[in-house]
C-alpha cells in the first residue's frame, strides 16, 4: 500500500481535526483538505450543554485551536460548506456550494444530527442542542424563561436539565425509561441519577411517553404526554438522541446501516475511512461491530485512521471513555457499562456521594464507573484493560 498523495477529511469537528493533526504529527507531507458544514472553525461540543449553556464559558472558548495552530497544519480549510454527495469509486465529494473535491484518501467524520419529535415545528422556544449556535440560542431563551421541559433522559437531556436547574429555572425532565441513562448505565446507577435530580428539585416524569408539543401562533407552550396531560413550558429542549449524519451518502456506493459500515481498520471502502460518531466499525477485541458517540472516541479513532492511511494496518480496538458533569457530580466511565451487566461497588458508597462501580459480563470486568472518585476510577481502569476475572471482584473492594 502506498501513501496517498492527498487526504480529504469531510467533517471539521474534533474527529476530523484529529485526523489532520495526527497525519502531520506522523510526518505526512501530502495535501490535506478539511471540509466543514458549519461556518465555525473546529470547536469542542461537550461544554455546550454545561459551561456554555450556563454562561461559565464564552462560546469562543470552545474553539479547539487558535488560528496560528490551524495555519501550522498547512491544510486547506473549507468551512460553511456541507458535503452533499460522495462518489466512492471516483473518490470525489461534491459540496452544497458546488465544489468537487477529489483525493486519494477520504475520511468521513460528519458526526450526528439530532432527532426531532414527529411533526416538530420550528416553533420559537423549541430547541435541539448539537452545535454552538444551538447552545447560544438556547441560552438566550433560557435567560428569559421560567419553566423548561427537557424531553429526553439520556446524557444530553440530563446535562441540559442540570444546567437549567442551576440557572434557577423550574425544570421537568421527561423520558420513556424507568431511570435516566438506564440504557447507558443500567437501572442501579440510573436510580442514583434520578435521586440526584430529584434532590436538586427537577421534576422527573419517568416512564412517560411524549405525544407532541403544544403552542400557539407565538411560541411553544408545553409538552403533551400520552394520556393528554400537558406539562407547561416556555422553553422545550428536545434531546431524544441523534442519528449518524449519513443522508448525504445515499447512492455513494458505501454500505450504510447504523452509521458507515467499516472493517476493523475503520475502512469503509478502498481509500475511504470513517471516524467518530458516524463510524460503525468492527471492534476486534469485542468481536462485534459498534458505533460510539463520545468525544474521546472521535480523537482516538482519528489518530488510528491517520496511522492506517500511512500504512500501519492496525485494528482499532479502544477502551472507550466518556464522562458527564451534572451539578457537582462527575461521572466517568471507562470501557463498557452495559445495562444487563453485573454491577459491584468497590470504593466509596452512594450515601457518601462518591463511589466506584465495576461492571462485569461474560465472567470478566468490562467497565468501570466513577461517581466523584476520579483517581480511584482511573486506577480501576486497568481491570477493564486486563479483563479481570469477575470472580475476583470481592477481593478488589477497598477495605
Partner 1 sequence: MRIIVDVEKCCGAGQCVLLAPKVFDQRDDGIVVLLDESPAPELHKAVREAACVCPGAAIRLEEQA
Q: Which residues bind partner 1 (CB under 8 A)?
A: 18, 21-22, 25, 44, 46-47, 51, 56-57, 61, 64, 295-296, 299-300, 303, 321, 323, 325, 330, 332, 372, 374-375, 377-378, 381
CA distances from 62 to 6, 42, 85, 177, 250 (A): 29, 9, 29, 32, 32
Q: Which is nearer to partner 1, 25 or 392 (CB)?
A: 25
When the beta carbons of 57 and 206 are compared against partner 1, the nearer one is 57
φ, ψ dihedrals at 267, nearest 5°: -100, 125
| Rounded Cα–Cα distance for residues 351 and 372 (Å) | 12
Q: How many Å apart are CA 224 and CA 151, to the nearest integer?
A: 11
Query: CB of residue 124 vs partner 1: minimum separation in angstroms?
Result: 32
CB of 151 to partner 1, least distance (A): 26
- Decide whether 281 or 321 has the Cβ nearer to partner 1: 321
Residues 6 or more apart in contact with residue 395 via CB below 8 angstroms: none
What is the nearest approach in angstroms of partner 1 to the Cβ of residue 58? 11
Nearer to partner 1, 61 or 397 (CB): 61
Q: Which contiguous run of DSSP H or E holds residue 35?
A: strand 31-35
Q: What is the nearest approach in angstroms of partner 1 to the Cβ of residue 159? A: 12
Q: How far is the CB of 157 from partner 1 (least distance, A)?
A: 19
Nearer to partner 1 by Cβ, of 25 and 312: the residue is 25
Nearer to partner 1, 61 or 100 (CB): 61
Would you state the cell numbers that stand for residue 328, as one nine-digit string? 457537582
- Residue 123 or 323: the one with the smaller Cβ distance to partner 1 is 323
Measured from the CB atom, the residue of 97 and 374 that comes closer to partner 1 is: 374
Cβ-count burial of 200 within 10 angstroms (0-12 exposed, 13-18 middle, 19+ buried)?
Answer: middle
* Nearest-approach distance from CB 344 to partner 1, in angstroms: 22
Please state, in angstroms and rounded to a whole number, the distance separating the CA atoms of residues 348 and 354.
Answer: 6
Q: Quick check: 49 and 139 in contact, CB under 8 A?
A: no
Q: CB–CB of 121/115 below 8 Å? A: no
Give the count of beta carbons closer than 10 Å to the beta carbon of residue 110.
29
CA gap 389, 362 in Å, rounded: 9
Cβ neighbours for 376, distance < 8 A, ≥ 6 positions apart: 347, 348, 356, 370, 398
**CB-based contacts of 120: which residues, under 8 Å, 6+ apart?**
126, 213, 238
Set of cell numbers at residue 281:
466499525
Whole-number minimum distance, CB 59 to partner 1, in Å? 13
Neighbours of 24 (CB within 10 A): 16
Residue-wise DSSP of 123-163: -TTEE--SSHHHHHHHHHHHHT-SEEEEE--SHHHHHHHHH
Q: How far is the CB of 328 from partner 1 (least distance, A)?
A: 9
Q: Which helix (H) or strand (E) holds 384?
A: helix 374-386
CB of 16 to partner 1, least distance (A): 13
Nearer to partner 1, 22 or 179 (CB): 22
* Closest approach of partner 1 to the CB of residue 56, in Å: 8
For partner 1, the closer of residues 66 and 253 by Cβ is: 66
204 in Cβ contact with 212 (< 8 Å) = no
Complex with partner 1: residue 268 or 333, whichever CB lies closer:
333
Q: CA dist 116 to 67, 78, 230, Å?
A: 34, 28, 19
Residue 22 Cβ vs partner 1, minimum distance, rounded to whole Å: 7
Cell numbers at 31, concatenated:
495535501
Amino acid at each position: 500500500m502506498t501513501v496517498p498523495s492527498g487526504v480529504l477529511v469531510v467533517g471539521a469537528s474534533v474527529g476530523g481535526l484529529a485526523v489532520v493533526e495526527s497525519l502531520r504529527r506522523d510526518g505526512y507531507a501530502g495535501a490535506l483538505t478539511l471540509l466543514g458544514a458549519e461556518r465555525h472553525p473546529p470547536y469542542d461540543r461537550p461544554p455546550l450543554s454545561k459551561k456554555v449553556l450556563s454562561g461559565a464559558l464564552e462560546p469562543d472558548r470552545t474553539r479547539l485551536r487558535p488560528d496560528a495552530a490551524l495555519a501550522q497544519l498547512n491544510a486547506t480549510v473549507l468551512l460553511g460548506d456541507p458535503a452533499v454527495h460522495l462518489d466512492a469509486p471516483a473518490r470525489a465529494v461534491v459540496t452544497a456550494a458546488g465544489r468537487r473535491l477529489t483525493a486519494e484518501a477520504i475520511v468521513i467524520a460528519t458526526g450526528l444530527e439530532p432527532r426531532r419529535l414527529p411533526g416538530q415545528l420550528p416553533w420559537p422556544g423549541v430547541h435541539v442542542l448539537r452545535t454552538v449556535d444551538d447552545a447560544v440560542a438556547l441560552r438566550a431563551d433560557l435567560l428569559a424563561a421560567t419553566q423548561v421541559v427537557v424531553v429526553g433522559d439520556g446524557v444530553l437531556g440530563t446535562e441540559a436539565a442540570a444546567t437549567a436547574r442551576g440557572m434557577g429555572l423550574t425544570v421537568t425532565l421527561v423520558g420513556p425509561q424507568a431511570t435516566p441513562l438506564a440504557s447507558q448505565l443500567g437501572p442501579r446507577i440510573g436510580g442514583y441519577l434520578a435521586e440526584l435530580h430529584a434532590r436538586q428539585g427537577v421534576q422527573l416524569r419517568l416512564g412517560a411517553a411524549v405525544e407532541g408539543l403544544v403552542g400557539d401562533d407565538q411560541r411553544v407552550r408545553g409538552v403533551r404526554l400520552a394520556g393528554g396531560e400537558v406539562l407547561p413550558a416556555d422553553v422545550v429542549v428536545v434531546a431524544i438522541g441523534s442519528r449518524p449524519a449519513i443522508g448525504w451518502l445515499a447512492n455513494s456506493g458505501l454500505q450504510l446501516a447504523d452509521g458507515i459500515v467499516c472493517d476493523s481498520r475503520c475502512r469503509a471502502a478502498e481509500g475511504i475511512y470513517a471516524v467518530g460518531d458516524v463510524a460503525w466499525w468492527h471492534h476486534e477485541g469485542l468481536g462485534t461491530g459498534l458505533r460510539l458517540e463520545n468525544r474521546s472516541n472521535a480523537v482516538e479513532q482519528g489518530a488510528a485512521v491517520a496511522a492506517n492511511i500511512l500504512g500501519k494496518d492496525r485494528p482499532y480496538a479502544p477502551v472507550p471513555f466518556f464522562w458527564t458533569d451534572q451539578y457537582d457530580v462527575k461521572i466517568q466511565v471507562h470501557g463498557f457499562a452495559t445495562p444487563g451487566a453485573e454491577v459491584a461497588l468497590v470504593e466509596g458508597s452512594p450515601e457518601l456521594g462518591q463511589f466506584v462501580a465495576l461492571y462485569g459480563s461474560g465472567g470478566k470486568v468490562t467497565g468501570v464507573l466513577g461517581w466523584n472518585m476520579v483517581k480511584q476510577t482511573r486506577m480501576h481502569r486497568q481491570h477493564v484493560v486486563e479483563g479481570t476475572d469477575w470472580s475476583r471482584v470481592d477481593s478488589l473492594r477497598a477495605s
